[in-house]
Structure 1
Amino acid sequence: MDTQNATHTQNDWITTPVTARLLRGALDVEQTERGVLPHRLPARARAQCADPQLAMAESQPSGVRLVFRSRATAVELDAVPTKRHYVGAPPRPDGVYELFADGRAAGRATAEGGNTLTVDMTAGTAELAQGAPGTLRFDGLPGGDKDVEIWLPHNETTELLALRTDAPVEPASDPGRRVWLHHGSSISHGSDVAAPSGTWPALAASLGGVELINLGLSGSALLDPFTARAMRDTEADLLSVKIGINIVNADLMRLRAFAPAVHGFLDTVREGHPTAPLLVVSSILCPVHEDTPGPAAPDFSDIAEGRIRFRATGDPAERAAGKLTLNVIRDELARIVAERAPKDPNLYYLDGRTLYGEADAAELPLPDGLHPDAATHRRMGERFAELAFGGDGAFAK
């Protein structure tokens, strides 16, 4: 459990520097004036795109864990979270830190203070105000040597300043599990999930017994070459790419550009992972974009109640001119994988509607028209684990 009651004096604590050796799931660790900032894209990739949406998404540590081995029964972490506030909307809940001891849930906490990013979606502006660090504490952990994992908030940029424990800390040994590298959109990032271990990739990784590197980048699964290069250069045993929704709702490209972009992305990934299982996943069902092109536009009519919905603003007739819809993209992805498969027997395709389809939408509709809720993430994670890791799945051993 986590508590705000101090059970140790200052002299009891052992301070351990937070370094890349203690972090998993991050592709880069930036040294700041106060501490370290985990990134999910390397510096080279970040330098090639000035999009503030991407900068925010890749610095939010979805799937990133602070991992160490210790006999500690109490842990403190100083952090500077960046909390988002949307003009006209109620305050967002604070990001959640989850602690696991030898794989078992042992506490949750939030960090007070931190920076505030004020976003005005109607004006398209964002302003950052610097804030003070916050301290979170976990007490009452099991005694004895154990592996401790602290999952960082999937939806808050988090600068780590200091780790304190009541017993010495050492890096955890290599768990010997296969590494799964996944890239996708805000759905993979974890939109509308309350805690970082509840994203569908985190759930699927747990069920599949693998180590997750989550490159789910909110609004930014756009077939960017720098993301493909980041995947190429990252050690992994299993790879997946979820393609579709951001291409459509950003109205990013037409059919003529889409297929070559997919081929180029896959070619780049294959340069670093020529024989690893590579799974191409299309979008889950999203009724507003199944046959209607983008761009998507937010509906602010209920923002005061904390609700934003999204709608498609394209015209279905524009498909004749090459505008993309989710159904068009699914057909193209299936065709591309089938075309490449004879020379790439470890390339697979999964229709995203097997994770969330029409029957699921009737039972668990997307609350804002685009993003699944926590219950749907769990269903998607369980289904992905069954389809990919089980039986004859792409990731079955």
Structure 2
Amino acid sequence: MDHQHDDIPDPATTPRPTDWITTPLTADLLRGALELERTPHGVLPHRLPARARAQCGDGQLAMVEAQPSGVRLVLRTRATAVELDALRTKMAYQGAPPRPDGVYDLLVDGRLAGRAGVTGGNVLTVDMVTGSAETRPGPVGTVRFTGLPDRVKDVEIWLPYNEVTHLVALRSDAPVEAVPDRGRKVWLHHGSSISHGSDAAGPTSTWPALAASLGGVELINLGLGGSALLDAFTARAVRDTPADLISVKIGINLVNTDLMRLRAFTPAVHGFLDTIREGHPTAPLLVVSPILCPVHEHTPGPSAPDFTDLSEGKLRFRAAGDPAERAAGKLTLNVIRDELSRIVKQRATDDPNLHYLDGRDLYGEADFAELPLPDQLHPDAATHHRIGERFAAVAFGTGGPFAAEDD
């Protein structure tokens, strides 16, 4: 996708067309979701299937898997105006200024042609001190894109990566239809909040979306903020999802939740990879270790919030573990990288399509000096671009694990 967008029309200043066609929101119009749930509010895209969701009662996972990172409506149409009603659920932190609204990106034949958001919706307010949460209900909002070229074209509406989104109605001033299979490979990626998109500029600007565009592949993004925890149900979801290329980015969530020790980590990684291989025995499978995160390179978790500047809208994190606890098997990012490298090397003797990528090749010490992590854990928008471009070069470039056969 091309991100030059100097001529994006402003929906707020463009007259609304008078005649609309309403098109049912069906699975053939959506890509990037593993399941669609019909609810009283509309259609809710899920990035984990119901079986997986039923096996975990964690509220964090329930929220992030329903935030539609990488999910997009894909249409073929002559329409010059398209409008989508949606009910969002937006997060807020008690005592902090409002968080940025989610963004919808419009692509026309692969080029970014519009960017807008919806108003209204629900607000989920979290108290970081007590851990309590409260939802304030709100109305359905509408995102509208006008001034589209009057010709047959492929239109994509990428949904916000950071708002739970019920799709209510799709309208246009000309008929729309599903886009036939483009014959592109499907890349399925699983990772943490960075893969999910945390602090990217928009849904097509997360590093996986950028890398998929540069690699010419269809993306399924199973980046699950705070929830890349080697869960068996996630491995089964990857196993059961058709895909040509697979990557799993493992590490930071295991440290900042302080979930397991090294004794449990090693067999859990093996089990996760074994499960994926049951459904994809020969697909290129790339294991990616964490990018540089100085607070946890040598210090175990958990991560703890730093409220010093919360009133200014700045939430930071710190490492609350003790480096001496590594002797008892506590995980740090360096420990995880060493073990992932060893595991992949061991398994690759019988699995030539298994590969390893050190996350510091995507974002390392020199990058941190130039583009530090604003909250000590998550990259900013510029860093998402850098990571996406580097991943595309390493994975999809000549000689890379995801390179086309003729490369």
Matched, 1:7 2:15: yes
Per the TM alignment, residue 94 of structure 1 is displaced from its structure 2 partner at its CA by 1.1
Partner of 1:192: 199
- The one of 267, 282, 286 equivalent to 2:289 is 282
- The one of 59, 67, 76 equivalent to 2:83 is 76
Matched, 1:253 2:270: no
Partner of 2:127: 120
Per the TM alignment, residue 2 of structure 1 is displaced from its structure 2 partner at its CA by 3.7
Partner of 1:367: 374
**TM-score normalised by length of structure 1:** 0.99
- The one of 234, 241, 244 equivalent to 1:237 is 244
Give SS of 2:63's match.
helix
- Residue pairs, 1:27-46, within 5 angstroms: 27-46=34-53
- Residue pairs, 1:173-192, within 5 angstroms: 173-192=180-199
Matched, 1:380 2:380: no
Structure 2 segments unaligned to the other structure (5+ residues): 1-8
> Which one-letter code corresponds to 2:15 in the other structure?
T
Per-residue displacement from partner, 1:238-275 (whole Å, max 9, x unpaired)? 00000010001100000000000000000000000000
Matched, 1:296 2:303: yes
- The one of 142, 151, 157 equivalent to 1:150 is 157
Per the TM alignment, residue 142 of structure 1 is displaced from its structure 2 partner at its CA by 1.1
Specify whether residues 354 and 6 from structure 1 end up closer, same or farther in structure 2 by C-alpha distance, changes over 3 A only. closer
Matched, 1:337 2:344: yes
Give SS of 2:11's match.
coil
Partner of 2:92: 85
- The one of 205, 212, 219 equivalent to 1:212 is 219
Per-residue displacement from partner, 1:98-117 (whole Å, max 9, x unpaired)? 10011011111110011111
Give SS of 1:198's match.
coil
Partner of 2:172: 165
Per the TM alignment, residue 6 of structure 1 is displaced from its structure 2 partner at its CA by 5.9
Matched, 1:62 2:69: yes
> Which one-letter code corresponds to 1:215 in the other structure?
L
Per the TM alignment, residue 5 of structure 1 is displaced from its structure 2 partner at its CA by 4.4
- The one of 227, 230, 239 equivalent to 1:223 is 230
> Which one-letter code corresponds to 2:185 in the other structure?
R
Distance 1:243 1:6 in 2: 45
Q: Are the equivalent residues in 2 in contact too, given 1:96–1:152 (CA < 8 A)?
A: yes
Aligned CA-pair RMSD: 0.9
> Which one-letter code corresponds to 2:296 in the other structure?
H
Matched, 1:131 2:138: yes
Give SS of 2:349's match.
helix
Distance 2:97 2:40 in 1: 32
> Which one-letter code corresponds to 1:13 in the other structure?
W
Give SS of 1:343's match.
coil
Distance 1:89 1:194 in 2: 20
Distance 1:116 1:394 in 2: 42
Give SS of 2:12's match.
coil
**TM-score normalised by length of structure 2:** 0.96
Give SS of 2:387's match.
helix
Q: Are the equivalent residues in 1 in contact too, given 2:17–2:173 (CA < 8 A)?
A: no
Per the TM alignment, residue 19 of structure 1 is displaced from its structure 2 partner at its CA by 1.3
> Which one-letter code corresponds to 1:221 in the other structure?
A
Partner of 1:50: 57
Per the TM alignment, residue 364 of structure 1 is displaced from its structure 2 partner at its CA by 0.7
Distance 2:324 2:127 in 1: 33
Q: Are the equivalent residues in 1 in contact too, given 2:17–2:81 (CA < 8 A)?
A: no
